[in-house]
Amino acid sequence: MQTVTSNTSGEGGTALPRKTTVRGAAYLEAGEGEPLILIHGVGMRLEAWAPQIEAFAKTHRVIAVDMPGHGGSEKIAARSTVRDFVDWFGRFLDDIGIDRANLAGHSMGALISGGAAATFANRITRVAYLNGVYRRDPAAKAAVLARAAAIRTTGVDTAGPLLRWFGDDPQSQRARELTRTWLEAVDPEGYAIAYTAFANGDEAYADCWPSVTCPALFLTGSGDPNSTPEMAEQMASLTPNGWARVVDGHRHMVNLTAPESVNALMAEWLNYREEPA
């Protein structure tokens, strides 16, 4: 596992233009070349990938999609599981005519990305699992299930995620305020459906990593309390072509708070030919 230091903050406040598929998935497309698809996490929207869209549209056909019930995408059915979200993503690939792509997901998007790599491996060239969970311990599992159960009665919690996802360092301020804005704007029902699937989904594909043979990057921040460096290392150790990278001094929204470091690590992944040192 390699640890990377970074002190660079991200931008991403401008609303980005979207297209919509026949089944109601909203997405952005920019650049040309080998496809790179980006899936954000619960409560976010495709703008959360703004630093990566800007960087990789210079070299790839970048497609960032709003998860169901987020941004401009229509909701998925109530009581949907992570497996249902993976099925949704497969239909999205069909609708936009993509046979095979590189796939990066953040948080809940990471669970979807890992599920896609396990379920339809022939369509995934490489997978990047950013700040993704793996087999939570009992205390973490109980906490996330309690948060999921509370959504129906207390609504979308904006304060809790900000405390967990960001430190008090000045370089995180911009990303923290953007994240607050996205959480405040999210559809409550879409959020509840996705968060419940996320809370129950950390083991849905946990046994699949030994069979995922494509290049697989497991990336997180050293201070992420829920998607820990230990989780990234565990998954990487099980994956034939997997490796872990940790960005020092950052937490859950590392692609926004340390975009230069994350972009460099994703470029390493996209240029993979043999296992990185």
Q: Distance (Å, rounded) from C-alpha 163 to C-alpha 49?
A: 20
Catalytic residue status for 211: no
- CA within 13 Å, CB half, 146: 7
Q: Which of 48, 249, 239, 251 is nearest to 134 (CA)?
A: 239
Q: Per the structure block, which two tokens stand in for 170? A: 């000045």
Catalytic residue status for 131: yes
Catalytic residue status for 252: yes
Look up residue 45 and give its amino acid: R
Which of 6, 73, 131, 226 is labelled catalytic? 131
181 sits in which H/E element: helix 173-185
Cα torsion 225, 79, 73, 55: sign: positive
Which of 40, 70, 250, 252 is labelled catalytic? 252
Which of 73, 80, 107, 227 is labelled catalytic? 107
Q: Which of 258, 264, 265, 260 is nearest to 218 (CA)?
A: 265
Classify residue 5 as exposed, middle or buried by CB count within 10 Å of its CB (0-12, 13-18, 19+): exposed
Q: Distance (Å, rounded) from C-alpha 107 to C-alpha 39?
A: 9
Q: Which residues are catalytic?
A: 107, 131, 252
